[in-house]
Each structure stands twice: as structure tokens, then as C-alpha cells.
Amino acid sequence: MHFALSRPSPGSPSQGCVRRIGAAVGVALAVVALGACGSSPVSTVGELDFANPLRIPPLAEPDRDGNRVTFDLEFQAGTTRFLDGPATDTWGLNGSYLAPTLRARLGDQVTVHVTNSVDETTTLHWHGMHLPSSEDGGPHQMIEPGATWSPSWTINQPAATLWFHPHLHERTAEHVYRGAAGMFILDDPAAAALDLPDTYGVDDIPVIVQDRSFGRDNQFTRREPANTGILGDEILINGTHNPHLDVTTELVRLRVLNASNGRLYNLRFDDHRPYHLIATDSGLLPAPVEMTDLRMAPGERAELVVAMRPGERAVLQSVEPDLGTSSGGRGNGSHDSFDLLQLRAADHLESSATLPNQLVPIDELHPNEVVATRSFELGNDTINGNKMDMERVDLVVENGAVEVWEITNDHGRPHSFHPHLIHFLVLDVDGHPPPPHLSGWKDTIYVPPGETIRVIARFDGYPDPTVPYMFHCHILQHEDDGMMGQFVVIEPGTTPPDRIDIGEDHDDGH
């Protein structure tokens, strides 16, 4: 059966708000322009036939010489076919959309040559990576068109699913929306010793979740309800629209990355089957946590292991994420539901090892080590009342310090808080001990309106008084609108400069 999305005819009204409605597969589809753009719930549940095989981003093949690993990445502009009909103008790294998956091991000395072959200045940030601020790829490490930037660092953190994406001052949302992003998998002996599904593309599957809207000639458009940033009404998984995955093993591990600009998801299977959460942003959990629903905010990762029976099908969906607010969160997708990915099990499945009861121990950080407690008040487009200033140093942290960061959202909007450099443990959520699924290392956390979350982290390894790390809201429009600040890590007893030197010809758009 053939299935295609219809497209709005040229000149259809309020194109950015157009949504295609299909009653059932094979039935004629109609284009409906919704009157109240951004407030009408979106649902694709039951509308897809999952005709397209899920694209698996290729594993990058680095030059490896012992522990020295060198990757090449090139920003490219191109076109990508997501739907029937015209291809979409996109950006990618080493391809027209997304990127190869990078993979490295504990102890590797990594160098990445990042070449900018698009006609705009951009950056490439290693989200979740513990590395020097000069290699971090934030707004201070701009890559001009035609230039190559070659950050280098040593992997010294546990196995985890990280990612990379542009992080340009005030233009991150646009560059990420075009498609320049990818997954970065870290391995270590502790994870390798566990009997987990770990054959990439077979029983260990990247699942990069992005929402997009398609307008005239299948070009990406933006549907932007007030203050949420871009929210798309179609889902791409690894750049595949309407996807299925052929499953050949009893257990399959899904490395889910919410690489969307502003949308939250609630991961659930259509038959509500339980799955096991084994890892969050920055590493494996102490033990698998059985769940049926998991909320994921922009920037977060979650590794799920799901059991399949021979011949069956199961659809991973996102169903009405609870944003912890009755009114404020609607714009970030709380009333929306999607079919994300259909799993199609073969008639004969290869047996998988039983999931271990224990994964990796967590080295707790003790409150008596804490040298500073800081408060972060998330405003509507500020943090602690400030908008991002490339030259201002918001915080100075001593190398090696253990700090508690208390993040409060007293306003109506959902926010997803992400500090660079560190991995943190959640101490409490609104005064309550964290639920089991928040018991591991994180680098990004959803902060619902009206709540306070306290996290603890050690800041170690890379003092540099002149180059800051960022902390920000990972709803990218909020970040671009100014919900970002900077911290420098210094040697104890030294004083950093008052301002960050950003050079004379820096164009920050003001």
C-alpha cells in the first residue's frame, strides 16, 4: 500500500500552521489549516504505516593509532528526501542531514577536524563531554566558512550516549533545525563487561527524535507558538519519516536522543508494555528501572531496553508529556501525541542475554564536600534576571570544587537546564528524593514550572580563566533569546579577568 503525505498547495494560508490530516492509511488525505495555530493539539497516532526502514547513521571510521583517534567532520548544505515529492534543503555533517555516529573509548585521545563548508559561521559543541572549555564548541569557538577547527581532548568519563550540535550565539535554534547534529557514543570497560545489547545497528540502535514541519515544496517551516520556539508537527527518527525498525533479537536497546528544538516527549509503547531504562544522559544507571512512560526534554538522552516476541509489532509513541503544569506547558507539546517508530520483530529472534540486575555503581558526591551552593532562577527569558552576555562572567568556580546548584522555575514556561563540562546527580526534586529514573548521571534536566531541583557536581580538570563554559535552557529558542550564562573554572586562589575577551570583530547581533 502506498502512503504519502499530501502537501499544502502553494499559497495555502498560514503555511507554518498547516497540518496534514490523514484518517487512515490509503484513504485520501486532506490539508487543513488550523485556525488557532499552536494551540490545537497535534496527533499522528494511527496515521502512519511505517513504510520506511529506519535509517541508521553510519559509524564514523576514524584514523586510529593506539589510543589516538582522529575524526573528520564537515558541515555541508544539501537536500534530503524525507517525504514523497521534492527534497528538503538541509544541513548535515559528512552528509546532507545529521551526521555519522562518533564512537570512542575511555582513555582515547580524540581529535576532530571540523570543517565549515556552509556559508555561515557556526560552531560544533560536544554536549555532555568533559573537556577543556577551549575545545567545547560553544559560542566562543566559532568556525568561519571555509575554516577547519580541530579540538582535541582525552575521554575521561564513563560510557554514555552524548551528542554534538551547533551552538552559535543567538542562532543555535536555526542551525540545529536544519539538521547539523549527531550522536557520540562513549565506551568503557565497566559497560563492556555487562551483558547488554551492544551491536550497533542490530540490537543497539540510535533513535534521534526530531520534530519538523514541512511547508511549500517540502521545505522545513517553523510553527512557533508564543515563546516555545520551533515545534514541528511531523517526527523524524534519524532523519527518517514514517519509520520502522526490523528487530532480530529478543532484546533491543534504543539510545533515544531528544534532538528537538523545543518539544518534550513521553515515551510509551502503544500496548503500554514495560521497558527498562538502563542509562540517562551521562551514563548507566545503578540498576535497570522498569517503566512504561518516560518524559524527555530537549537535550536529554535515555537508553531503553525493550523485549520483543517473535513476529510481533510494537509502536514506540510519545503520548501527551506531562510538563508539570496545567497551563504553561502546552506550547511545548503537552497535548500532542505521535507515533515515533514501529518495531517489527522477525519470526525467529536471536536470543539475548538476560538484562543484569545491577549495572554500574554510582560514586556519590557527599554533601560535606560541598564548597558552594548556587541558585539559578529561570525566568521567562533570563537566568537570575540576566540575559546572555558573551563578555560577562556569571560564575567563577574553583577547579575541583563540589557544588550544589539549585534550579528554580518560578515562571510559567517549561525549561530544560543544561550546564556544560559537568555531570550531576539529582539531590532532590521539590524537596523529595529523586525517582529511580533520575538516580544516575545527568547533564540536562527538565525543570517544570513551580519546581526547584537541586543537583550536585564536581567541577574538575580544566581550569582556564579566559574561556567560559555555558549553562542554559536547552529549549533552543529560550537559549537564543538569552537564557544562557557563562562560568569559568579557575585554579583556587587565582582571579579571572572581569570580562571575557571576544575579539573586536565579533558580530553578536546587537
Interface with Cu ion by CB under 5 A: which residues? 127, 415, 420, 473, 475, 478
Q: Of the listed pieces 13-21, 99-107, 266-274, 466-474, which binds ligand C2O according to CB under 6 A?
A: 466-474
Closer to Cu ion by CB, 196 or 473: give it.
473
Bridge partners of 151, per DSSP, are: none
Q: How far is the CB of 419 from ligand C2O (least distance, A)?
A: 8
Q: Per CB under 6 A, which of residues 140..169 are in contact with ligand C2O? A: 165, 167
According to the binding rule CB under 6 A, does residue 413 interact with ligand C2O?
A: no
473 binds, among Cu ion, ligand C2O, none (CB under 5 to 8 A by kind): Cu ion
Q: In the complex, which residue's CB is closest to ligand C2O?
A: 127
301 binds, among ligand C2O, Cu ion, none (CB under 5 to 8 A by kind): none
CB count within 10 Å of CB 421 equals 23
According to the binding rule CB under 6 A, does residue 299 interact with ligand C2O?
A: yes
Q: Of the listed pieces 26-34, 145-153, 317-325, 470-478, which binds ligand C2O according to CB under 6 A?
A: 470-478
Q: Pairing relation of β-strands 401-409 and 63-65?
A: unpaired
Q: Pairing relation of β-strands 415-419 and 464-473?
A: antiparallel
Percent composition of the chain: helix, strand, coil (DSSP 3-state, to 5)? 5, 45, 50
299 binds, among Cu ion, ligand C2O, none (CB under 5 to 8 A by kind): ligand C2O
What are residue 53's phi and psi, to 5 degrees?
-60, 135
Q: How far is the CB of 183 from ligand C2O (least distance, A)?
A: 12
* Strands annotated E in 166-232: 182-187, 204-214, 220-221
Nine-digit cell string for 479:
537559549
What DSSP string runs through 384-427?
TTB---TTB--EEEETTEEEEEEEEE-SSS-EEEEESS--BEEE
Buried b / exposed e over 261-299, threshold 16 CB at 10 Å, is bbbbbbbbbeeeeebbbbbbbbbbbebbbebebbbbbbb
Q: Of the listed pieces 87-95, 315-323, 336-344, 469-477, which binds ligand C2O according to CB under 6 A?
A: 469-477
Closer to ligand C2O by CB, 174 or 233: give it.
174
Q: Which of 48, 160, 393, 470 is the binder for ligand C2O (CB under 6 A)? A: 470
Q: Which of 7, 19, 103, 125 is the binder for ligand C2O (CB under 6 A)? A: 125
Report CA Rg, the chain: 22
Quick one: CA torsion of 191, 194, 197, 200, rounded to 10 degrees? 30
Q: How far is the CB of 125 from ligand C2O (least distance, A)?
A: 5
* Cα 159 to Cα 441: distance, rounded to the nearest angstrom: 11
* Cα 503 to Cα 494: distance, rounded to the nearest angstrom: 23
Helix (H) or strand (E) holding 301: strand 301-307
Q: How far is the CB of 485 from ligand C2O (least distance, A)?
A: 11
DSSP state, residue 96: S
According to the binding rule CB under 6 A, does residue 127 interact with ligand C2O?
A: yes
Nine-digit cell string for 226:
508564543
Closer to Cu ion by CB, 223 or 415: give it.
415
Binding mask 391-410 for ligand C2O (x = CB under 6 A): --------------------
Is residue 404 within 8 A of residue 455, CB to CB? The reply is yes
Q: Which of 418, 423, 442, 478 is the binder for ligand C2O (CB under 6 A)? A: 418
Q: Of the listed pieces 99-107, 198-206, 319-327, 467-475, which binds ligand C2O according to CB under 6 A?
A: 467-475
Q: Which of 140, 178, 472, 478 is the binder for ligand C2O (CB under 6 A)? A: 472
Q: Pairing relation of β-strands 152-154 and 109-116?
A: antiparallel
Interaction site with ligand C2O (CB under 6 A) = 125, 127, 165, 167, 299, 418, 420, 470, 472, 474
